[in-house]
Structure 1
């Protein structure tokens, strides 16, 4: 009985630790009290969990305010998964070259439940400071990658995911009207390009194009992002052609030859 109890307790600790990582992936950063409230444990338990994760480099303290965020210890783990994904294996030379050519941050994102998860990133040589998006869960309705992935789902699945996720107004520019989003997604399907103008984060703009598998199904979004002061609507229009070309080349390497 004691062995079983210890085993069950260990499993519970693992479950809670995974929940903490998921919370930090969703929120970006959180304090001990926030984590404790999310997983419904005492603050001392949350503190011990965060301490254990910090000891392995999986989380780190973001500031002297006691906030925690995901740590660099996750990068080798994420990289091992990323390398097994065919879209990154086949596409990495393409988007690394795109990042070098454009001097901007390039991300590859896929659908995970009712979120978008960024699975790989390449930065141009002129990029001074940028977000580390790898492993970050972002909303579907207010990101360029999310719009690309939503646009190519069947209507029933799209409605199901949006109902599960909601359409929270993350910034004043976030689209929260389903009819307005549907109209924009129709345009994404027509043009092969989605944009997000400070919809997910003030000061951040992005554009994305779809990547297809050998059957022509959209499996990922290729995204370019940067600060709004540099990547304005004019710049996004300039980036549209090379971005779509890179996404098409990635699709070709995945086995999809467009008619």
Structure 2
């Protein structure tokens, strides 16, 4: 149990350092994860040895290390492998494009995209495409299920500038919208990121009960109306629940207070 606790603490330290938009000092890292400085310093030393974090010799602040991108790419490949059979089956069922969207600081990034088959008009995001994390159904699902502190940090760090004229730009409206997402367990949008495109998204959770990705269906508005997306939502939620279980998530209810 002690070893498991140490790993969990190291992951918490790594998450805080890598999710920050600036290098962090020991005191701030300690405060953010509510651990004493001596413990945090030992964890940072271990992460530094593995080149997952690096320390500025002048400021003594910490940022992501050179091996972080390798770890990130490996993790993305792992989750794509787990999700593969499920999202291909879902794509065949709904006959629309299925995407996996992951958080990346103030952005969201597409790590997998399965195009719709037998459709003349399709909307297929390129793998590696990024957008502001607050934009679109998948981004709002990611924000709805992350920690309140992280969601507030994103809101404070961004201007909520819309990608299209449809986007939510008011802080209070966005917070209220995120509450609605948690209540129903999914989100949908039309023309929020791409004019004329609809999106429906549900959360995927990991073994630590944290959201790791958004499972998203994308298609043209002419085929994916609001009514159609509400109809598709149970299929999407069932698939994301199966994927979450594969990743070790044991939660019983996707809705939670944040």
> Shorter-normalised TM-score: what interval?
0.5 to 0.7
- The equivalent residue for 1:217 is 210
Q: C-alpha deviations, 1:22-43, integer Å up to 9, x for none?
A: xxxxxxxxxxxxxxxxxxxxxx
- d(CA) in 2 for partners of 1:258, 1:159: 24
Residue 83 of structure 1 and its aligned partner are, at CA, apart by: 7.7
- d(CA) in 2 for partners of 1:117, 1:214: 21
Match of 2:78 among 73, 79, 86: 86
User: Is the contact between residue 211 and residue 251 of structure 1 (CA under 8 Å) also seen in structure 2?
Assistant: yes
- The equivalent residue for 1:244 is 237
- d(CA) in 1 for partners of 2:159, 2:78: 30
- Equivalent residue of 1:141, what SS? coil
Aligned CA distance change for structure 1 residues 202 and 149 (closer, same or farther; 3 Å): same
- The equivalent residue for 1:139 is 132
- d(CA) in 2 for partners of 1:86, 1:192: 25
Residue 184 of structure 1 and its aligned partner are, at CA, apart by: 0.9
Match of 1:204 among 187, 197, 207: 197
- d(CA) in 1 for partners of 2:129, 2:156: 21
- The equivalent residue for 1:233 is 226
Residues 1:126 and 2:93 are matched in the alignment: no
Residue 125 of structure 1 and its aligned partner are, at CA, apart by: 1.6
- Structure 2 stretches lacking a partner, 5+ long: 1-71, 253-258
Q: C-alpha deviations, 1:144-194, integer Å up to 9, x for none?
A: 111011111222211212232321132221110111111110111121101
- d(CA) in 2 for partners of 1:127, 1:83: 32
> TM-score, with normalisation over the residues of structure 1?
0.65
Taking the TM superposition and a 5 Å limit, the aligned residue runs for 1:90-169 are 90-128=82-120, 129-169=122-162
- d(CA) in 2 for partners of 1:186, 1:82: 32
- d(CA) in 2 for partners of 1:201, 1:222: 18
Give the total of aligned pairs. 181
RMSD (Å) for aligned C-alpha atoms = 2.0
- d(CA) in 1 for partners of 2:184, 2:167: 21
Residue 250 of structure 1 and its aligned partner are, at CA, apart by: 0.5
- d(CA) in 1 for partners of 2:243, 2:220: 25
- Structure 1 stretches lacking a partner, 5+ long: 1-79
> TM-score, with normalisation over the residues of structure 2?
0.66
- Equivalent residue of 2:203, what SS? strand
- The equivalent residue for 1:4 is none
Aligned CA distance change for structure 1 residues 152 and 231 (closer, same or farther; 3 Å): same
- d(CA) in 2 for partners of 1:83, 1:152: 20
